[in-house]
Structure 1
Amino acid sequence: MGDSVLRESDWRALTVSPRKRELFVEDLYFRETWEDLVRVAGERAAETLGPLAMLAFKPDGVVGRRMRRTLSFVEEEGFELVGFERVRYNRHSMRELWRWDWNLYTTDRLALSSLMHSATDTFLLLLRDTAHTGVTPGTVRLADLKGSVLHPWGPRHLRSVLRAPNKVIKFCHVADEPADLVRELGILLDRESRRELLRGAGEADADKVSAALLEEVGRLEAATVEHGFDIDETLERLTGEGRLPKDAEARIREVMAGGPRMSFDELAATMPPATDGLALWDFVLVASWVTPLEREGHVGLLPAPTAADWQGRHAPGTG
């Protein structure tokens, strides 16, 4: 048997982006996971994705102790947990996950992201939107609730609830559309894990799954250092411990006040990054404030569609 052919109705259920459709039809991770989904759900594969959403904690979400708060938020917003897997990013998976954003970001940010994303295990959550009506997919509603890096976060956005300190330390990631959920499961999980997760989603007892996740969260947190991600407290502690010279602290605060940014290598020469523990996260936090993050004149190659885009498709006269 060859690959399953996606019908027009499948693509309409997966994305509102013609460009994403062009890219994903040839994407290895998308193709593999779509076959898994067809194996599990058959002709109803695309329909099955409608209420589902995916949230993956970043290592800073583990170290910053934001996992329980996030789970409470999504449950209060009408999402129930139907499955989870313990995962670990590496330098390759984090590049693939955000493949169409890296053209916007600097190589300094790439070095920083490689360091922070490979630092610890974390969890991938599969959620079901209990408010799903068949118009806006669960992925899209959750992405809107999370808050976009392109717009200010409101008090009810997850980014605000989690008190994300900046646009690097954001604690979690969500799939933007059903098509992204399919592709990203292919990046983060192997074949058997994907199929098991998808099979279990339809009959999961959300309360039992949540209880199991919280037990695993407790185990992971017990084995992982905690960091508050407060930049002022961190700089004062580093200077007080003699790990950061006062002139270096002054240079960092100059950057934070709008002065010229420091390259990753410049910061590393002043404050060598550790490989683990609190010192690693001290470096990550400082770097997230002072290194150049974006390349001028560049934009992401696949802007994320919003709920309004999906609702517009169903407006009278749009077909």
Structure 2
Amino acid sequence: MIRTTSIIDGLTTSSEKTSRYAVDPYFRDAWEELVGIFGTPGEVRRFTWRHVPLVLRPDAIAAGRGELLLDLLRQWGLAPVGHAEVRFDRHLVREVWRYQLNIATRDRITMMDRVLVDRPGLLILLRATRPTAEPVCLDLRARKGPSDPDRRTPDQLRHVLSAARASVLTLVHSPDEPIDVVRDLAVFLDGHGIRQLTAGPRPPEEERAAVLSRLKELRDETGHHELDLDTARLSLGLPTDPAGLARAAQRVLAEVLTARHVGSWDRLVVAAHTARTHFAGYRAAIPDTDATAWSHHLAPPKED
């Protein structure tokens, strides 16, 4: 058995992650794969400092705006150096958010299935194009914005990419800390996929063109929708008076939650804005990491 707790040192400020990831098979799988690729633990730590995987979920692909996304990332000093298609199923949904879904309602989890399962996503590996004072995943975390739409600001990625204002429609996923960079790679990809993703970066402009081409193909599969609630209400012909609209939205939610396959983004958008999301008064198995805690760790990994 690998000495996982010593490996984790320097990858997280969270004691919960230190204990849980020490026995997490995804983290251990990806760590051993990355050491085999890069040669030493120090090189893996440097990789996690300079790189971050950004997953565009099916809702982000439906919303489009791939060029805007890549333009923003370039302004923030992040360039695409690899990508891989991911296909969501119910197991992937539960593993990506394994340590947060303990406080999610059944409605929320089912809505996540309806939005994500049997639909494609795209994982884009990003690399910092300039020296960074912190792991790039921390910077991207702040720039993407929170899952709660009421706490987002207009300059954050989730706000820019779509008019969606439901916490179920979060559009993108990225790891919070270097330790999550490692685990996420094994959650989304097998060993062969990790090796392909990190095999040797293409020039950023070449990779940008490849990503945009693939996003267009995937959007043709998912269908296009701005994820705007008013557009969805109008398309479904829902009543405009508040009481009638509330009753109609509850009917749509009930239909979406009980159906096996929901093809209409209009129905998903209305249901996403109607569903209960979290149980109040409980904490996630691993709460969000306090980014300020990294102020004591802000030094790039040393050579082995």
TM-score bracket relative to the smaller structure: 0.7 to 0.9
Partner in structure 2 of residue 275 of structure 1: 261
Give the stretch that moved more between structures: 162-171 or 177-186.
Answer: 162-171
Q: 1:131 to 1:255 in 2, by over 3 A?
A: farther
Partner in structure 1 of residue 14 of structure 2: 17
Q: 1:45 to 1:145 in 2, by over 3 A?
A: same
What is the one-letter code of the residue matched to 2:183?
R
**1:23-80 deviations in Å (ceiling 9; x for gaps):** 1111011111111100011212222211111110111111111433222211111101
Deviation at 1:248, TM superposition (A): 10
Give the stretch that moved more between structures: 265-274 or 85-94.
Answer: 265-274
Residues 1:192 and 2:192 aligned together: yes
Partner in structure 2 of residue 259 of structure 1: none
Matches of 2:97 and 2:138 in 1, distance apart?
A: 17
Identity %: 29
**Contact 1:59–1:117 at 8 Å: present in 2 too?**
yes
**One of 206, 209, 215 as aligned partner of 2:207:** 209
Q: 1:310 to 1:132 in 2, by over 3 A?
A: farther
What SS does structure 2 have at the residue aligned with 1:192?
helix
Partner in structure 2 of residue 312 of structure 1: 296
**One of 38, 43, 64 as aligned partner of 1:41:** 38
What SS does structure 1 have at the residue aligned with 2:20?
helix
Deviation at 1:162, TM superposition (A): 1.9
**Contact 1:89–1:118 at 8 Å: present in 2 too?**
yes
Partner in structure 1 of residue 168 of structure 2: 168
Q: 1:125 to 1:64 in 2, by over 3 A?
A: same
**Contact 1:64–1:226 at 8 Å: present in 2 too?**
yes
**Contact 2:82–2:197 at 8 Å: present in 1 too?**
yes
Deviation at 1:20, TM superposition (A): 0.3
**Contact 1:186–1:194 at 8 Å: present in 2 too?**
yes
Residues 1:294 and 2:278 aligned together: yes
What is the one-letter code of the residue matched to 1:303?
P
**Contact 1:60–1:116 at 8 Å: present in 2 too?**
yes
Matches of 1:227 and 1:207 in 2, distance apart?
A: 27
Deviation at 1:212, TM superposition (A): 1.2
**Bigger Rg, structure 1 or 2:** 1
What SS does structure 2 have at the residue aligned with 1:235?
helix
TM-score where L is the length of structure 1: 0.83
Aligned residues: 295
What pairs up with 1:109-128 in 2 under 5 angstroms?
109-128=108-127
Partner in structure 1 of residue 268 of structure 2: 284
What SS does structure 2 have at the residue aligned with 1:103?
helix
Q: CA RMSD in A?
A: 2.7
Q: 1:37 to 1:27 in 2, by over 3 A?
A: same
Deviation at 1:299, TM superposition (A): 2.1
What pairs up with 1:1-319 in 2 under 5 angstroms?
4-6=2-4, 8=6, 10-43=7-40, 44-133=43-132, 135-149=133-147, 152-163=151-162, 164-200=164-200, 203-239=201-237, 246=239, 250-253=243-246, 262=250, 267-269=253-255, 273=259, 275=261, 277=263, 279=264, 281-314=265-298
Matches of 1:7 and 1:271 in 2, distance apart?
A: 41
**Contact 1:58–1:117 at 8 Å: present in 2 too?**
yes
Matches of 2:197 and 2:266 in 1, distance apart?
A: 35
Deviation at 1:16, TM superposition (A): 1.1
Matches of 1:66 and 1:186 in 2, distance apart?
A: 27
Matches of 1:314 and 1:269 in 2, distance apart?
A: 49
Matches of 1:230 and 1:276 in 2, distance apart?
A: 17
**Contact 2:235–2:266 at 8 Å: present in 1 too?**
no
What is the one-letter code of the residue matched to 1:182?
V
Q: Which runs of 5+ in 1 are unaligned?
A: 257-261
Matches of 2:127 and 2:55 in 1, distance apart?
A: 14
Matches of 1:301 and 1:68 in 2, distance apart?
A: 36
**Contact 1:59–1:119 at 8 Å: present in 2 too?**
no
**Contact 2:63–2:161 at 8 Å: present in 1 too?**
no
**Contact 2:141–2:175 at 8 Å: present in 1 too?**
yes
TM-score where L is the length of structure 2: 0.87
Deviation at 1:130, TM superposition (A): 2.3
